[in-house]
Chain A
Amino acid sequence: MANHAWVIDQTSCIGCHACTTACKSENDVPLGVNRTWVKYVERGTFPATRRDIAVLRCNHCEEPPCVEICPTTAMFKRPDGIVDFDTGRCIGCKACLQACPYDAIYIDPHEHVAEKCNFCSHRVDQGLLPACVVVCPTESLLFGDLEDPRSRVAQVVASRPTTVRRPEQATRPNAFYLGATATALDPLAPVHADAYMWSERRRGGAKDHSAAIAALEAEAPPVRGGARVAYDAFHPEPWGWKVALYLWTKNIGAGVWALAFLAPALGLVALSRELRLAAAFASLAFIGLTTLLLVWDLKRPERFWTILIRPQRRSWLALGSFVLVGYSGLLGLWFLGTWFGADETLLLVLGAPTVVLAALASLYTAFLLAQCEARDLWQNPAVFFVLLAHMTVLGAAGLLVAAAATGGLDTIAGFARAALVGGGVLGVAALLSGEAGAGRTTANARAAGHLLVRGPFRTHFWLGGVLLAGLVPVAVAALAPAAPAALLAAGLLAAAGALWYEFGFVAAGQAVPIS
């Protein structure tokens, strides 16, 4: 079977951008987005100055993370190796933008769906070479079948030293570079200044933070001649406040009812019917809100339902949707059962799978984030424990509010205190161990860690994650063990801290340049 690949010859590429405009023309690519672009990096001190060039685009990976994360099979790998997309199936969730470690995918501003280089598959299917290959003045773009020994691509890959972008991502890229320098291919090697040599640098993407990363990582003040990007294309942060808020509402939706169910189920404390109903209602409301945020964040929200009818079973975005639907359904039944006074045993039996789904509703995000191959910060195993911690803390806070509303604050105080302490300790431990572990993984993770812990997002980490969502509830629980009102306040502070942390966590993960 054919396996199509690029060879990009940077020994002969003159950086003329013909590929860029030929691609825009062939594929009707709007302003503001690119399927292929040319990056220039300047380095060295006059007169030993160099300008390195790299043509960047989809790598048509052997293990394409965009395909794995796509919830609707809109991204798919063809039998001939082309990673293609189906605009009719895309819901615009942008997960593939988080999965692609190469910034190759964009949301088309016209159709609002994910698109990228697909080797001009419509041309390939007609026996025509991709448009960029045809236009290239210097024959620096080679397209061909790695399995066909007659193809130039196969011959070059077999006989000459080639490199790939970001091999540490283990995607097995099928774009092989000849003579590309590390400064041109490594997104963290050069710094992005305020502008480029002949264009503005758009704000709102990871490249805004490159100078901060360099400063955080530098062991000495910068010297002249450091690598600097002289031209590049813009890539926005795909996920914003809605996703951060979604993490928070989801943890509330998962945690409040889960704690309300577990407390009596484990025989710790009996809860009033009102409190149980209130907790279930709060969870339902917050899961509903979560779903609303998720759908709202889609670029094609009207296609949301296609996740359910055409799911891509390896995508944690699809699996997570099923979890949310399942959890809401069972929780709804449990709520009705409680409302109508159903048998407690029956409710217990119903609650057991529901609580599993509640936990999954919070924790599946760790697996989803693990599929976001572009964001190494989010790959950290600590994410799982932070979610668990925040679900617990937020659940306790929510339960305290519900109890205050239903008049049972005193009954629940002990249980909530334990949950707050447990969640707080786990949270702080996870955050600190995650930070400690980040340095041992990839450069991207290290950079994101620096941004989050010591950089522009540090208040999110320290104030939000460590102090408010961790140390404050622990301290209050220890210092004021018998003051439910103080616990309630601590819970609210912890909830605010968790939200503040999520904003930083979501932003920092996307704040490291990947192209």
Chain B
Amino acid sequence: MSVDDPVKRSGFAADHPAAGGAMQPGFEAFPPVERWDDWTERDAHGREHRYSLVPTTCFNCESACGLLAYVDKETGQTRKFEGNPLHPGSRGRNCAKGPATRNQVEDPERILHPLRRTGERGAGAWQRCTWDEALDDLAGRIRSALKRGEPNKVMCHMGRPGEDGFTERVLGAWGVDGHNSHTNVCSSGGRAGYAFWMGYDRPSPDFANAEVILLISAHLESGHYFNPHAQRIVEAKRRGAKLIVIDPRLSNTAAQADHWLPAWPGSEPALLLATARHLLVEDRFDREFVRRWVNWEASLQELAPGAEVTFERFVHELRVLYDRYTLEYAEAETGIPAAQVLAVAEAVANAGTALAAHNWRASAAGVLGGWLTSRCLFFLNVLTGSVGTPGGTGPNTWHKWVPRPPYLPPRPEQWNELTWPREYPLAFFEMSFLLPHFLLEGRGSLDVYFTRVYNPVWTNPDGMTWVEALRREDLVGRHAALTPVWNETAWYADYVLPVGLGSERHDLHSYETHAGSWIGFRQPVNRVAAERAGHPTADTRETNPGEVWEENEFWIELSWRIDPDGSLGIRRFFEAPDRPGEKMTVDDYYGWIFEHSVPGLPEAAAREGLTPLAYMRRYGAFEIEKAVYLRHDDPVDMAGEGLVVDAAAGLVYGPPPVGPGLNVAHVPLLPPDGAGRARLGVLVDGEGRRGFPTPSGKLEFFSSTLRDWGWPELAVPTYLPNQVSRARMDAPDAFALVPTFRLPVLVHTRTGNAKWLNEIAHSNPVWINPEDAERIGVRDGDLVRVETETGYLVNHAWVTEGIRPGVVAMSHHMGRWRLAEDAGTDRWSSARVDLRETEPGRWTMRRLEGVAPFRSKDPDSSRIWWRDAGVHQNLIFPVHPDPISGQHAWHQRVLVRPAQKGDREGDISVDTRASRRIYREWLALARPASQERGLRRPEWLLRPLRPTPAAYRLDPGPAGPAPDARVE
């Protein structure tokens, strides 16, 4: 590679050869970029191929690592996917799922053409249809709903998006508050804990520069953002950083840790608060940071009303408040010996301002009040002053760039109560997993429901209730599944519309993988290769397999058909920016963005004589900023024109900016002052600083939002008992089930069609400690029944020292099923089952046949050697909506017993009537938005597709449906 090669110019700290490091002189990791257009390489069989090397982005997990597709010029096949060395997040490297993209593209089970249901919904009869037929039908129904003034009869339910806002803006353009997400089965708990502190709802740890890394996660094997984060954690470890992992199960991450703390699930806040207490009592916290950046004055007034407002008094009150969180208390709650808690507290105390900590799921997604885990974890960042520092933990938005698109649609005018019910005014975000309950109890219905690369029947808790709702055509008029492959939910669709994999679609995204920001461009690689070869393409279907489409073009086309003449005011958002009245192409869209909204990109492109779009097509990623730290401390120009200081609130206001900025990443809404001035910053020691997007502008130890919205007792970081507390394990066979852990090689249901990954992992036994196993009379490999309040499953036991006694765990990803011989879910990963409703609300599933070899054009399909498909567990989980974050609390109190006579592995039994009852029990925990306040949600809190202020107003009326509608 030449010295001028961008790989080397990018100056990565790592010495990895994929990033240009010299491992062995004379050898390179990648072909030089200047030869990507025409690269000749011999394959393992000695055959020479001429390739077009096209960068794109992995579409498996949300890390969005760069890929480099080797498109064979002769056959048009992508022979392999390597990493993209120019990607600032993944830096040329991948996890097992990157190379396995090839399996997904070549999967002989793929759906290549749109399908339309012919029989009853869910009966499994399909016929091929055209895209036009599907588009016209869906567009007609949506248009009709919009014209009737019922925009919220349209809903698009997104799996992990893998893109930054395209679909959300489509819905905005339609005027529909119909964005639904997977967030509340995933990260609401994590988000809420961070957001109540700093407004921003995600952490961005600077692992590479940390002294101490504290994970309530498993970032060396999974999670956002597995590969990019793992690289940087290991770099830090090589430098001597200490790794602390809190996890009741020995994850691969815990196995690499200096301290593995197998705390009882949900007890993490006790451990974290004991650490906080240690820092406070030993006076080893960053006083100056806390004094400057925490809303201590307001907090003190709440903790000790009338007390003298001094920082010392605040510190005193903190010590009093957390006095009960002794090391011994932590030991009693968590099961971690006090000495080990102390060692960890000391490590944290010694981290200086380089404590990189992360919690996204784990108990934050596991228990009632789980959001307190991330809230208490960030407390340690606050106390150590490691907020936004080198080696510390910053907010994600500093490290994320969502470039402004050509058009920003207006905000929806109608609030959608099916996704944002008034019972959950603080939820992060849509109460997605309650949708079937809402539909079944008569809160509303849908005319058109899209599931977009999303599989709620399998992925969400209480899947049988999903089936009960989805099969009702009166509740869901049309269900269109946009998916690359069959899944359990698509089975209950009216249309199955094949959309592209990571190498077959356009998307743009940016994630906080480190303390810098970048954009990554996902591209249909065959289309790009064809263009390079002089065959420009106007429609990605022309170069994709079969009739597989990409979503961008699908949404543009659908929008045009909804509003063909422009009379609904929708079409204008889908017209070419420079050719009014003409349909926007993906080149128009991304070309505009790259030209206008990415600082430095036009210049970088010009230096190479390329348009910004051509530059991104060539390199696939662009680094915008490096070493972004301490943004909160940026000074506000106090001499600026029109600047006004609100001394009482400690806030600085000024003239509102003209139009949106170039980076339109979601940030909390900072309310203007009475005169309509925008909030520019916060006063710190009398100086204007940018601060944090919270009501106070500071980090909020005491959250007035929580107080004002009905939760005064939880307004400061604290610890609560929950549904799997140790105290609730009151029987010898009662356990806390951790059902959420993930494996390094799979991701949810997206990897079911990757043979190399399923070959590695295809079982999800019940992890149980030998001590427990002996007590309940189970040996390794024995079948056990795991029973929740709504049903049971039968699976085999993995008796292991790698889990805390009293806790059992099953990994996620597995238990895929299909109802037909050769359709429904990929045969690489699914068992054929008999699913039946024996009486209303009573469902049973029995495995008829495990994974088995099958004949296809891929000879490997006849070489499948594994039979296990794992046992699905989400079906037996009733919904557990956390009343504040809205997170489904995944952990379950279960009874684990030896299997009974007649039980077979894979048996599942569910009672959806019981799940309705538990839904109502948890619903009763909620504290709805109050009529007096007159708002549905605090306006400052983050919310996707934020509606107009008028829509935030709470109309008088009962919460939920009329009482008689609840009776089913």
| Bound-state Cα–Cα, A154 to B29, Å | 19
A144 in contact (CB, < 8 A): yes
Kindly list chain B residues whose C-beta atoms are within 8 Å of the C-beta of A234.
865
| Bound-state Cα–Cα, A153 to B227, Å | 24
Q: Across the interface, do A46 and B44 meet the contact criterion of CB distance under 8 Å?
A: no
| Bound-state Cα–Cα, A15 to B46, Å | 30
B181 in contact (CB, < 8 A): no
| Bound-state Cα–Cα, A234 to B767, Å | 23
Kindly list chain A residues whose C-beta atoms are within 8 Å of the C-beta of B866.
199-200
Query: Looking at the complex, which of A28-36, A271-279, A479-487 is the stretch in contact with chain B?
Result: A28-36
- Give the distance to chain B from A208, nearest Cβ to Cβ, in Å: 14
- Give the distance to chain A from B596, nearest Cβ to Cβ, in Å: 34
B residues 580-630 with Cβ under 8 Å of A?
A: none
Q: Across the interface, do B230 and A195 meet the contact criterion of CB distance under 8 Å?
A: no
Number of chain A interface residues as a range: 35 or more
Q: Across the interface, do A31 and B864 meet the contact criterion of CB distance under 8 Å?
A: yes
| Bound-state Cα–Cα, A51 to B17, Å | 28
Interface string of A10-36 (1 = CB under 8 A from B): 001011111011101111101110000
Q: Which of B769, B770, B798 contacts A195 (CB 8 A)?
A: B798
B residues 254-268 with Cβ under 8 Å of A?
A: 255-256, 260, 262
Q: Across the interface, do B227 and A145 meet the contact criterion of CB distance under 8 Å?
A: no
Q: Across the interface, do B29 and A128 meet the contact criterion of CB distance under 8 Å?
A: yes
| Residue from B25, B46, B234 having most chain A Cβ neighbours under 10 A | B234
Q: Across the interface, do B863 and A109 meet the contact criterion of CB distance under 8 Å?
A: yes
B843 in contact (CB, < 8 A): no
B221 in contact (CB, < 8 A): yes
B residues 862-876 with Cβ under 8 Å of A?
A: 863-868
Interface string of A233-260 (1 = CB under 8 A from B): 0100000000000000000000000000
Q: Across the interface, do A137 and B221 meet the contact criterion of CB distance under 8 Å?
A: no
Q: Across the interface, do B24 and A16 meet the contact criterion of CB distance under 8 Å?
A: no
B residues 847-895 with Cβ under 8 Å of A?
A: 859-860, 863-868
Q: Which of A14, A26, A40, A110 contacts B234 (CB 8 A)?
A: A14
Q: Across the interface, do A32 and B99 meet the contact criterion of CB distance under 8 Å?
A: no
Q: Across the interface, do A21 and B99 meet the contact criterion of CB distance under 8 Å?
A: yes
Query: Looking at the complex, which of B185-193, B207-215, B803-811 is the stretch in contact with chain A?
Result: B803-811
| Bound-state Cα–Cα, A150 to B811, Å | 44
Q: Across the interface, do A50 and B43 meet the contact criterion of CB distance under 8 Å?
A: no
Q: Across the interface, do A198 and B762 meet the contact criterion of CB distance under 8 Å?
A: yes
- Give the distance to chain A from B77, nearest Cβ to Cβ, in Å: 12
B764 in contact (CB, < 8 A): yes
Q: Which of A18, A122, A128 contacts B27 (CB 8 A)?
A: A128
Kindly list chain B residues whose C-beta atoms are within 8 Å of the C-beta of A159.
none
A167 in contact (CB, < 8 A): no
B796 in contact (CB, < 8 A): yes
Q: Across the interface, do A202 and B865 meet the contact criterion of CB distance under 8 Å?
A: yes
| Bound-state Cα–Cα, A42 to B252, Å | 11
Q: Across the interface, do A134 and B29 meet the contact criterion of CB distance under 8 Å?
A: yes
A142 in contact (CB, < 8 A): yes
Q: Across the interface, do A32 and B221 meet the contact criterion of CB distance under 8 Å?
A: no
Q: Across the interface, do B24 and A148 meet the contact criterion of CB distance under 8 Å?
A: yes
Instruction: List the count of A-B residue pairs having beta carbons below 8 Å apart.
Output: 235
- Give the distance to chain B from A467, nearest Cβ to Cβ, in Å: 36
B220 in contact (CB, < 8 A): yes
Kindly list chain B residues whose C-beta atoms are within 8 Å of the C-beta of A143.
23-24, 27
B residues 75-122 with Cβ under 8 Å of A?
A: 80-83, 92-100, 102
| Bound-state Cα–Cα, A444 to B255, Å | 29
Interface string of B225-253 (1 = CB under 8 A from A): 00100110010011000000000001011
| Bound-state Cα–Cα, A16 to B100, Å | 13
Kindly list chain B residues whose C-beta atoms are within 8 Å of the C-beta of A26.
44, 80
| Bound-state Cα–Cα, A348 to B79, Å | 65
Q: Across the interface, do B25 and A224 meet the contact criterion of CB distance under 8 Å?
A: no
Kindly list chain A residues whose C-beta atoms are within 8 Å of the C-beta of B805.
46
Q: Across the interface, do A18 and B24 meet the contact criterion of CB distance under 8 Å?
A: no
B16 in contact (CB, < 8 A): yes
Interface string of A307-342 (1 = CB under 8 A from B): 000000000000000000000000000000000000
B802 in contact (CB, < 8 A): yes
| Bound-state Cα–Cα, A199 to B759, Å | 8
A197 in contact (CB, < 8 A): yes
Q: Across the interface, do A25 and B80 meet the contact criterion of CB distance under 8 Å?
A: yes
Interface string of B30-63 (1 = CB under 8 A from A): 1100000000011111100000000000000000
- Give the distance to chain B from A35, nearest Cβ to Cβ, in Å: 10
| Bound-state Cα–Cα, A129 to B28, Å | 6
- Give the distance to chain B from A139, nearest Cβ to Cβ, in Å: 5
15 additional A-B residue pairs with CB within 8 Å, beyond A15-B221, A18-B99, A151-B24: A25-B100, A31-B865, A110-B859, A122-B44, A123-B41, A127-B26, A127-B28, A135-B98, A138-B230, A138-B231, A151-B25, A195-B796, A196-B763, A198-B763, A200-B866
CB<8 Å pairs between A and B, sample of 10:
A42-B800, A110-B859, A129-B24, A134-B30, A137-B94, A143-B27, A153-B24, A197-B798, A200-B762, A234-B865
A residues at B contact (CB < 8 Å)? 12, 14-18, 20-22, 24-28, 30-32, 40, 42, 44-47, 49-53, 109-110, 120, 122-129, 131, 133-139, 142-145, 148, 150-153, 193-200, 202, 224-225, 230-231, 234
